[in-house]
Structure 1
Amino acid sequence: MGTSNWQNVSYCIEMIRRIKPESILDVGVGFGRWGIICREFLDVWNGKVERGTWDTRIEGIEAFSANIDEYHKNFYTKIWEIDASDYFSSCKEKYNLIIFGDVLEHFYKDEGNKLLNMALEMSDYVMINIPLGENWEQGDLYGNKYEEHKSEWYVEDFEKYPIIRKRLFRDYIGREFATILLSKNSIISNQLLKQTQIDNEMHMIQQEMNEITEYYNLLKKKKTESEHTLETILTEGENKILNAAANEKVLIKVRIGNNINKNSNGNEVWIYHITSDEIPAIDLNKIKRDDKWITRMDQSAPTGTCLIASEIGAELQFEIVGETLKLKCLSHPWSGNIEIVKNDEVVLKVDLYSANQKKIDIIINLKGVD
């Protein structure tokens, strides 16, 4: 089922509660997040705990009928199993709030703009959650052709619309997305910002700014501490190898072999971490390698960097000390195989292919291998 980022959820809940919509249309139901949230914070939080007392009209549109499960029917008044463009073209209903929760990017841009224009005619408020810019590529998922991303959006694309709220967020890997609230009502005369609410709104924003500043300073301090710790770990390992006696060092080569798994879609090798029982981490940026390897920043790598190659024969090498060598690698449907070479002798061949993506540890007893 379709789902999306969580960093903006509390902000959206606050807006929905201030709007107090009596009728809502959730475009692209997916998992059902917005229908469930609206039901909870518009009915249950207002004392209407029993299902029979719920009176908010919450409708949804879902083109991929397999997404609709029994539990959806417990929260939505009605779900229209139809493409959003078809529904908007024929709809005569009026709503207080229409929600596009990570939906517009699944349409070509002209279609998305057409939907927004129709939504503004059909509803008092339109709330949009949207990924911004590049790096959000996505194709069909779980047999659902509607999951494909067909367009890129930027904040500037919404400036032609009557924006009354806008906030930028970043997801767990730093990509930018936005929550935008549109309404044809002016800010002063609409129900969201009555004059009696302005002071409270300003006070709340000031509190948020103070909290954000405090959190920013905390993160800045943690980042500095983390950088220092990582630098210490890498330098410590580097110096230990450098100062070790020649007979204590082992020269290791890792290369992509040609024994291709028949089920694999490629020869990719991803290395996330290299360590030993004496060396906590090797700096992957400093490893000697041919030009077939690339480095990539990756939050799931212990030192923040991983090495990637996909061409048979790609080779890297490094010196290590200790009795046990460990490589952390990615195993997935496009993985190839690697050969571990100790002092110019192949000591281990590993098929990295896996039908499901996972990280694996390759462990070698260096003292037990001649």
Structure 2
Amino acid sequence: MPTSIAEGKDWSVVEFQRHLPDTVTDVGPGEGTYAKLFRPVHAGIWWTGIEIHKPYVAKHKLRSTKTRSMYDELHVEDARTSDQHLFHRDLVIFGDVLEHMPREDAIALLGKAEAAGAWNILVSLPIVEAPQGEVDGNPNEAHIHHWDADDMDAVLAELGGHVESMRGETLGVWWWSRRG
């Protein structure tokens, strides 16, 4: 779904405040959960969104010409085929998005962000069985891979850097950083 549950968001805000990124790419913003959550914490951030489902842009007002948009730059495309430069940011967010693709694609996408020079990566995803099919006519909302928290720990450790995590009842949240 283009929404996200509240679990782990407080922890994410604390990490965000600790790192205070100036440039962010939000992969699969849906309704803009992370832009809404983080914008009030640190003004002046350049927000890039990569949204695969074009109807979400208007439905969730991700880009607006009349008022301030949630995203300064918005690309309607599949992040797996996006230009590498979109991942050269202080923070790349994969919030409730990696479960919507095969594991190999998710690992490649995380590697793409690291290789592009992302300083920090935020990952949030279900760590319990959470079957889901198409939502609102969007086949990209189907859950393709069920992640185990230990598996995500290992995948992010392979990127090098420093990893912190929070495991909730249903979601796991990870903050990967080059600097620690």
SS for the counterpart of 1:165 is: strand
Q: State whether structure 2 residue 53 is matched by structure 1 residue 64.
A: yes
Please give the TM-score of this superposition, normalised by the length of structure 2. Answer: 0.87
Give the counterpart letter for 2:173 in structure 1.
T
**Which whole-Å CA distance do the structure 1 matches of 2:38 and 2:48 have between them?**
11
Count of aligned positions:
167
Higher-Rg member (1/2) = 1
Q: State whether structure 2 residue 107 is matched by structure 1 residue 113.
A: yes
**Following TM superposition, by how much is the alpha carbon of 1:81 offset from its aligned partner in structure 2, in angstroms?**
0.2
- The aligned counterpart of 2:173 is 179
**Which whole-Å CA distance do the structure 1 matches of 2:53 and 2:74 have between them?**
11
| Partners of 1:120 and 1:183 within 8 A in 2 | no
Give CA-to-partner distance per residue, 1:266-318, whole Å, 9 cap, x none: xxxxxxxxxxxxxxxxxxxxxxxxxxxxxxxxxxxxxxxxxxxxxxxxxxxxx
- The aligned counterpart of 1:124 is 119
SS for the counterpart of 1:95 is: coil
**Following TM superposition, by how much is the alpha carbon of 1:23 offset from its aligned partner in structure 2, in angstroms?**
0.2
Structure 1 gap ranges (5+): 44-54, 171-175, 188-370
The ranges of structure 1 where at least 4 consecutive aligned residues each deviate by more than 3 angstroms after the TM superposition are none
Cα distance change, pair 32–156 in 1 and its aligned pair in 2 (3 A): same
SS for the counterpart of 1:26 is: strand
Please give the TM-score of this superposition, normalised by the length of structure 1. Answer: 0.43
**Which whole-Å CA distance do the structure 2 matches of 1:80 and 1:22 have between them?**
19
SS for the counterpart of 1:92 is: helix
**Which whole-Å CA distance do the structure 2 matches of 1:57 and 1:177 have between them?**
27
SS for the counterpart of 2:119 is: strand
- Greater relative contact order (Cα 8 A, min sep 6): structure 1 or 2? 2
SS for the counterpart of 1:128 is: strand
Give CA-to-partner distance per residue, 1:31-68, whole Å, 9 cap, x none: 1111222222111xxxxxxxxxxx31111111100001
| Partners of 2:84 and 2:112 within 8 A in 1 | no
**Which whole-Å CA distance do the structure 2 matches of 1:160 and 1:64 have between them?**
27
Of the three residues 81, 85, 94, the one matched with 1:92 is: 85
**Which whole-Å CA distance do the structure 2 matches of 1:168 and 1:92 have between them?**
31
**Which whole-Å CA distance do the structure 1 matches of 2:168 and 2:133 have between them?**
23
- The aligned counterpart of 2:74 is 79
Structural mapping, 1:134-213, within 5 Å: 134=129, 136-157=130-151, 158-162=153-157, 163-170=162-169, 176-185=170-179, 187=180
Q: Which has the higher strand share?
A: 1
| Partners of 2:56 and 2:62 within 8 A in 1 | no
SS for the counterpart of 2:2 is: coil
